[in-house]
Structure 1
Amino acid sequence: MARPSIADVRKLNDGDINAQIDATRRELFDLRFQQATRRLENPHRFKEARIKLAHLLTVRGERQQAATATSAS
Protein backbone atom coordinates (compact mmCIF):
# COMPACT_ATOMS: atom_id res chain seq x y z
CA MET A 1 0.00 0.00 0.00
CA ALA A 2 1.44 3.35 -1.05
CA ARG A 3 1.86 6.02 1.58
CA PRO A 4 -0.71 8.80 1.09
CA SER A 5 0.64 12.18 0.09
CA ILE A 6 -0.16 15.33 2.03
CA ALA A 7 -0.92 16.98 -1.32
CA ASP A 8 -3.81 14.54 -1.75
CA VAL A 9 -5.13 15.46 1.69
CA ARG A 10 -4.99 19.17 0.88
CA LYS A 11 -7.37 18.59 -2.05
CA LEU A 12 -10.12 17.34 0.29
CA ASN A 13 -12.79 19.60 1.74
CA ASP A 14 -13.21 20.12 5.49
CA GLY A 15 -16.05 17.62 5.85
CA ASP A 16 -14.08 14.87 4.13
CA ILE A 17 -11.05 15.58 6.29
CA ASN A 18 -13.08 15.32 9.49
CA ALA A 19 -14.69 12.09 8.28
CA GLN A 20 -11.30 10.59 7.46
CA ILE A 21 -9.90 11.66 10.83
CA ASP A 22 -12.73 9.79 12.56
CA ALA A 23 -12.23 6.74 10.33
CA THR A 24 -8.47 6.69 10.89
CA ARG A 25 -8.85 6.97 14.66
CA ARG A 26 -11.31 4.09 14.54
CA GLU A 27 -8.84 2.08 12.44
CA LEU A 28 -6.09 2.67 15.00
CA PHE A 29 -8.44 1.56 17.78
CA ASP A 30 -9.28 -1.62 15.87
CA LEU A 31 -5.59 -2.29 15.21
CA ARG A 32 -4.76 -1.93 18.90
CA PHE A 33 -7.62 -4.29 19.75
CA GLN A 34 -6.39 -6.85 17.21
CA GLN A 35 -2.89 -6.58 18.62
CA ALA A 36 -4.15 -7.16 22.17
CA THR A 37 -6.04 -10.28 21.09
CA ARG A 38 -3.08 -11.47 18.98
CA ARG A 39 -5.02 -11.37 15.71
CA LEU A 40 -3.01 -8.60 14.06
CA GLU A 41 -1.60 -9.79 10.75
CA ASN A 42 -0.07 -6.59 9.35
CA PRO A 43 1.69 -4.58 12.06
CA HIS A 44 2.97 -2.07 9.46
CA ARG A 45 -0.58 -0.71 9.22
CA PHE A 46 0.03 1.11 12.53
CA LYS A 47 2.67 3.31 10.96
CA GLU A 48 0.60 3.99 7.84
CA ALA A 49 -2.46 4.92 9.89
CA ARG A 50 -0.46 7.21 12.20
CA ILE A 51 1.13 9.00 9.24
CA LYS A 52 -2.26 9.40 7.57
CA LEU A 53 -3.75 10.79 10.80
CA ALA A 54 -0.83 13.22 11.15
CA HIS A 55 -1.36 14.49 7.61
CA LEU A 56 -5.08 14.98 8.20
CA LEU A 57 -4.62 16.77 11.52
CA THR A 58 -1.88 18.99 10.07
CA VAL A 59 -4.04 20.14 7.18
CA ARG A 60 -7.03 20.72 9.47
CA GLY A 61 -4.84 22.78 11.82
CA GLU A 62 -3.43 24.82 8.95
CA ARG A 63 -6.92 25.63 7.73
CA GLN A 64 -8.08 26.61 11.21
CA GLN A 65 -5.09 28.92 11.64
CA ALA A 66 -5.72 30.48 8.23
CA ALA A 67 -9.38 31.04 9.09
CA THR A 68 -8.43 32.61 12.44
CA ALA A 69 -5.85 34.87 10.81
CA THR A 70 -8.33 35.94 8.16
CA SER A 71 -11.09 36.75 10.67
CA ALA A 72 -8.67 38.64 12.94
CA SER A 73 -7.54 40.95 10.14
Structure 2
Amino acid sequence: MKTAELQELDVAALGQKLGESREELFKLRFQHATAQLEKTHRLRQVRKDIARILTVQNEKKRQA
Protein backbone atom coordinates (compact mmCIF):
# COMPACT_ATOMS: atom_id res chain seq x y z
CA MET A 1 0.00 0.00 0.00
CA LYS A 2 1.31 3.40 -0.95
CA THR A 3 1.60 6.34 1.42
CA ALA A 4 -0.46 8.57 -0.89
CA GLU A 5 -3.36 6.10 -0.68
CA LEU A 6 -3.15 6.08 3.11
CA GLN A 7 -3.11 9.87 3.40
CA GLU A 8 -6.47 10.04 1.63
CA LEU A 9 -8.11 7.89 4.33
CA ASP A 10 -9.60 9.29 7.53
CA VAL A 11 -8.49 8.30 11.03
CA ALA A 12 -11.22 5.66 11.47
CA ALA A 13 -10.37 3.98 8.17
CA LEU A 14 -6.69 4.00 9.08
CA GLY A 15 -7.49 2.30 12.37
CA GLN A 16 -9.49 -0.36 10.58
CA LYS A 17 -6.71 -0.89 8.03
CA LEU A 18 -4.19 -1.17 10.88
CA GLY A 19 -6.26 -3.87 12.57
CA GLU A 20 -6.54 -5.82 9.34
CA SER A 21 -2.81 -5.58 8.70
CA ARG A 22 -1.92 -6.71 12.21
CA GLU A 23 -4.29 -9.66 11.89
CA GLU A 24 -2.72 -10.59 8.55
CA LEU A 25 0.76 -10.37 10.08
CA PHE A 26 -0.32 -12.67 12.92
CA LYS A 27 -1.63 -15.23 10.43
CA LEU A 28 1.51 -14.99 8.31
CA ARG A 29 3.74 -15.52 11.33
CA PHE A 30 1.72 -18.56 12.33
CA GLN A 31 1.99 -20.01 8.81
CA HIS A 32 5.72 -19.29 8.77
CA ALA A 33 6.21 -21.06 12.08
CA THR A 34 4.40 -24.15 10.83
CA ALA A 35 6.31 -24.12 7.51
CA GLN A 36 3.14 -23.48 5.47
CA LEU A 37 4.11 -20.04 4.19
CA GLU A 38 5.33 -19.99 0.60
CA LYS A 39 5.60 -16.25 0.04
CA THR A 40 7.87 -15.27 2.90
CA HIS A 41 8.36 -11.77 1.46
CA ARG A 42 4.81 -10.94 2.57
CA LEU A 43 5.99 -10.80 6.19
CA ARG A 44 8.28 -7.88 5.42
CA GLN A 45 5.71 -6.15 3.21
CA VAL A 46 3.00 -6.30 5.87
CA ARG A 47 5.38 -5.02 8.56
CA LYS A 48 6.26 -2.05 6.37
CA ASP A 49 2.58 -1.42 5.61
CA ILE A 50 1.88 -1.30 9.35
CA ALA A 51 4.71 1.19 9.83
CA ARG A 52 3.32 3.37 7.02
CA ILE A 53 -0.16 3.30 8.53
CA LEU A 54 1.16 4.27 11.95
CA THR A 55 3.22 7.10 10.44
CA VAL A 56 0.25 8.56 8.58
CA GLN A 57 -1.95 8.16 11.68
CA ASN A 58 0.56 10.08 13.81
CA GLU A 59 0.82 12.84 11.18
CA LYS A 60 -2.96 13.24 11.15
CA LYS A 61 -3.10 13.35 14.96
CA ARG A 62 -0.45 16.10 15.03
CA GLN A 63 -2.34 18.14 12.46
CA ALA A 64 -5.60 17.95 14.38
What TM-score bracket applies, with the shorter chain setting the length? over 0.9
Question: Are 1:19 and 2:16 counterparts?
Answer: yes
Aligned partners of 2:3, 2:54: CA distance in 1, in Å? Answer: 11
* Counterparts of residues 1-73 of structure 1 (less than 5 Å): 4-67=1-64
Aligned to 1:70: none
Give, in angstroms, the shift of residue 15 of structure 1: 1.2
The SS at the match of 2:35 is coil
Q: Spell out structure 1 runs of 4+ moving beyond 4 A.
A: none
Larger radius of gyration, structure 1 or 2?
Answer: 1
| Unaligned 5+ runs, structure 1 | 68-73
Equivalent-residue separation in structure 2 for 1:54 and 1:45 (angstroms)? 14
How many residues get paired? 64
Deviations 1:27-58 (A, max 9, x none): 11001100111101100101110111111100
The percentage of counterpart residues that share the same residue type is: 36
Q: For residue 63 of structure 1, report the CA deviation from its aligned partner.
A: 1.0
